[in-house]
Amino acid sequence: MATVTGPIFRDLTLEEAHALLASKNVGRLAFTMHDRVDIEPIGYVSDGEWLFGRTSKGAKLSTLLHHPWCAFETDDVQDLFEWSSVVVKGTFYLLDPEIGSTDTYQRAERLLTNLVPGTFSVHDPVPQRNIVFGIYIREISGKASRR
């Protein structure tokens, strides 16, 4: 009779968590306002210190401008017991080349353009997403499951 073994769960190392974060470009941003929690999918790029993305005016932006603490999560899932997941906790910032850190904005713009060629040009596939944001990574952790 064959021995049945369950999955093995483990924490990712810091290096593995950053590598997973860098290898993906879609995740979920969680944020709160009073007694309401919301979560939305976002496209992003990571440079190890920041997550960068683009958005447009709306409820998510209004909420994050008042309560900038947020969590972000992305995964690599093959099946129920073969997956890795990373959670980032950080602070949401609007990035503007006229105010704030111009080098952070320029880094975001370069990475976002590499992700989606045509960004901020007449060939931009999502020109309505004209607001650049950054999430400064304050904590990062990850988990994985293997058979």
pTM confidence score: 0.88
Q: Pairing relation of β-strands 82-95 and 69-79?
A: antiparallel
pLDDT digits (tens, 9 = 90+) for 53-109: 999 888 888 889 889 999 999 999 999 999 999 999 999 999 988 877 788 999 999
For the chain, list the domains and their CATH numbers: 8-146 (2.30.110.10)
pLDDT digits (tens, 9 = 90+) for 102-144: 889 999 999 999 999 998 889 988 888 888 999 999 999 999 9
